[in-house]
Structure 1
């Protein structure tokens, strides 16, 4: 989710993978894995990406957090029910 979005932003801004990796002070291979969803972005990466691409931090953080939630629950049998229960707690 967030990786695909970052790749789209990078390509739309004509920024090469190695250029963005340098701006984030990380290895190009690591950034490639992050864009493919094989590795997770860190919170500080999201803050930096929001500045680089002039994107609302809330939008990128929401995608990042959704990815974290989905990866944490991906192989769980009752994930939908658990997520709904968690959402319901916001109403209390």
Structure 2
């Protein structure tokens, strides 16, 4: 899944920004931003925070989406992933 990239694209398009404009603001190249939006690459936390500022987005929303992508990547294809997530959730309560 690509939770963060999809949301970044939505926010960028709502602000009517071109990829190159946002990439320049984030000080990354346009190709990298495009890959992040498509889910071909993952952003680091610092970039997520910068993007949140640049797009006037809620920091927590973007960090949650970033973490969801990381978790999804880590458990992809694992047959016991759902049980492991339930275990973690039960320990947090």
TM-score w.r.t. the length of structure 2 is 0.93
Equivalent-residue separation in structure 1 for 2:90 and 2:32 (angstroms): 37
5+ residue gaps in structure 2?
none
CA distance, structure 2, for counterparts of residue 44 and residue 16 of structure 1: 21
Q: Deviations over 1:35-77 (max 9, x none)?
A: 0011001100111111111111111111110111001111111
Note the residue ranges of structure 1 that are not aligned, 5 or more in a row: none
* Aligned match of 1:39: 41
CA-based RMSD = 0.8
Report the Cα distance in structure 2 between the residues aligned to 1:21 and 1:38, rounded to whole angstroms: 16
In structure 2, C-alpha distance between the alignment counterparts of 1:31 and 1:50, rounded to whole Å: 14
Query: Structure 1 length as normaliser, TM-score?
Result: 0.94
SS, match of residue 50 in structure 1: helix
Q: What does residue 3 of structure 1 align with?
A: 5
Partner in structure 2 of residue 62 of structure 1:
64
Aligned counterpart in structure 2 of residue 16 of structure 1, from 15, 18, 21: 18
By relative contact order (CA 8 Å, sep 6+), the higher-ranking structure is 2
User: Which residue of structure 2 lines up, in the alignment, with residue 84 of structure 1?
Assistant: 86
Distance 1:55 1:88 in 2: 30
